[in-house]
Structure 1
Amino acid sequence: MASELRLFAGACTTTFEGTRSRTQHGYVVVLVKPDDTVLVHDADGYQPVAWLTRPDEASVETTCDGTDTAHGGFTITAQTGDQRLTVESHGEGTVRTFPIGEAGVPVGECVATDCEGTLARTGGDVACVDCGERYGLPAGATVLDRQCDDCGLPQIRVDRGETFEVCLDYTCESLNDRIRERYDRAFDCPDCGSDLRIRVTDGRPFFGCEGYPDCETAFSIPAGVVVGLCDCGLPVFETATGRRCLDGTCDSYLE
C-alpha cells in the first residue's frame, strides 16, 4: 500500500544544530518522507537548504483548520545523535498529505479484485502501485510483454538449466514444479552415485542427493542454461559470468 508524503509550506525559521549549524528564515517548502527524512527547500536551486536523512526521532505538531488544504501553524523536529533539525512556521502555513509509493517500470495491469492499478517492476519484485499487491521475482528473471492465459498477470522468463516461461504468480504456475519435471533424477550424485533430486527450501529449488541424510551432497541451481557435461558428470551451465560446473568447487571443468 502507498505511504504518505507530508508537505508543509510557509514562512519558517529553520534551525540546524550539529556539524553544519545554521539558522535561516524565509518562505520554504518542507517535505517529510515516509521514512521521516526531512527536506527543506527554498526557491534557489535543487539542493535543500537543510535536511536530515532517516532520523532516529521525528515529530510533527500542527494547528490546522481541518480543510482539504489545511492551514495552520506547524513545528517539525528531527534528531539523530547530536544532529537536530527544527522547522517552525510563523503565522499561517499550508499542510498537505499525499499518497506516495514505489516507482518502477510498468509491466502490466493488476488483477486483484476491485483494483485497476498498474504493475511496476521495482528491483526484485513486481508490485501494484495502487493496492500494493506484490509478487517476488527469481534472480535474473525477465518480465515478458504477454499475459498468463489463466490469470492475466504477466509471464516471466527464467533460466534454470533451461529457459522456462511461467506466470508471475507462482500459485498460478510454479517454476519449481517445472524445474522438478525437467531435472528431478536427471543427474547422479558425484559422491555416492544416488539420484540427485530437485528439492525446495525457502522457495528456492536445489539439487539434493536422494541418499540424504547419509549423503548431504547438495548444489544450488545457477541462473543459466545447461550447455554440456563436466568430466565429473554434473551439468555445465552458461551463466552471465561465464561457464561453470553445477558444483562451484569443481576443478574438473575448464572452459
Structure 2
Amino acid sequence: MSETVHVYAGECTTTYTASDDAGDEPTRRRGRVVVVHKPDGTVLVHDAAGYQPVAWLTRANAVHREVDGDGGFALVAVKERERLRVESRGQAHRGSHAATPAGVEVGTCPDCDGTLVRARGTITCLDCPAEYGLPRDAATLDETCDCGLPRMAVDRGARFELCVDRNCEDLDAAVRDRFDRQWSCPDCGGDLRVLRERTLFLGCENYPDCEATYALPDREVVGACDCGLPRVRAEDDGGGSPGDADTRCLDPDCRQTDGGEAEEAPS
C-alpha cells in the first residue's frame, strides 16, 4: 500500500544535536541539499556528493514540519535525546510522492490485480492494503495457491509447502498435525506438544510440573534419539541417506547415543 514521502530541495541550514546536555555543541551544515522525510519518521539530508547523507535521523519519534508564506520550510525531527532541524534559507521546492516497499516480484494480488513484492519479511501489494507476513526462513515458490496468492516452503522438522496467507493454510496447524506428541520429554517422559509463544516450540505436556522446552527443528527430522528427542540432519549435511555421523540430537547437550541405527522419522 502506498504511503507519502515528503521531499524538499533548496539552500538550507541543518543543525544536529546529539543530547540535551548544555556542553554538547550542535553540528551545523549549510548548502543546497535535498531533504527526504519517509513515512516511518526517517529524515535524510543529502548534498551533491556520495551516497551517505550529511545528516539524518532514523525513525524519529516525532517530526514537525512548517511551511511559510514565502515558500520556505522548517522541519524538526526528535528521537529520544537526538534532534535534527532543517531550515530553508528562502524559497525551496517541495513535493509529496507515493512510495511503497520495494522488493522481489512474487505474483499478482488476487484482490486488485496489483503486483505483489517480497520485502522486509512480508509480501505486500503495491496497489492495495493486502499484506502477508512471512516466517524468517520461508522461501517463496513459483506455484500459486487456489486463492491466487503465492505459496511458500518452510522447514520445521520437515518441508511444509503452504499458502502465504495463514488464513488460507495455517503453518502452525500443519506442524501440529505432523509432530504434536511425536516425541517424549527427556526429563519426565511426558509427551512434547507443539506450542506457540511468539514462535513455534516443543513444550512438555506436564507444565508447570515439568518446564522442559526445546526449539522446533528448523531442518529435517531423520530419527529419534535414545533420550526421546528427535535427531536432525547436521547443518552442513548435503543430503542423501543420513548415518549417525550426519545427524545430531535436537538437544546439543545430549549425552545419549542411539546405540544403533536411527528410528524412522514420524510420517
> Could you tell me the TM-score, scaled by structure 1's length?
0.77
- Alignment pair present for 1:121 and 2:118: yes
Counting matched residue pairs gives 240
Tell me how far 1:53 sits from its aligned partner: 1.5
CA contact (8 A) 1:236 1:244 kept: yes
CA distance change for structure 1 residues 62 and 248 in 2, over 3 Å: closer, same or farther? same
Q: Distance in 2 between matches of 1:237 and 1:213?
A: 27
1:65-84 equivalences in 2 (<5 Å): 72-78=71-77, 81=81, 84=84
Tell me how far 1:106 sits from its aligned partner: 1.7
- Alignment pair present for 1:131 and 2:131: no
- Alignment pair present for 1:107 and 2:111: no
- What secondary structure is seen at the aligned counterpart in 1 of 2:251? coil
Tell me how far 1:205 sits from its aligned partner: 3.4
CA distance change for structure 1 residues 245 and 15 in 2, over 3 Å: closer, same or farther? same
Displaced runs of 4 or more, over 6 A: none
Q: Distance in 1 between matches of 2:145 and 2:203?
A: 31
Higher strand share: 1
Tell me how far 1:158 sits from its aligned partner: 1.2
- Alignment pair present for 1:96 and 2:89: no
Q: Distance in 1 between matches of 2:103 and 2:89?
A: 35
Tell me how far 1:74 sits from its aligned partner: 1.9
State which of 246, 250, 253 in structure 1 corresponds to 2:254. 250
- Alignment pair present for 1:41 and 2:39: no
Residue segments in structure 1 that go unaligned for 5+ positions in a row = 65-70
Match of 1:67 in 2: none
CA contact (8 A) 2:179 2:194 kept: no
Match of 1:85 in 2: 85
- Alignment pair present for 1:140 and 2:146: no
Residue segments in structure 2 that go unaligned for 5+ positions in a row = 18-24, 238-246, 259-267
CA contact (8 A) 1:104 1:122 kept: yes
Match of 2:178 in 1: 182
Match of 2:5 in 1: 5
CA contact (8 A) 1:109 1:117 kept: yes
Tell me how far 1:17 sits from its aligned partner: 5.5
- What secondary structure is seen at the aligned counterpart in 2 of 1:72? coil
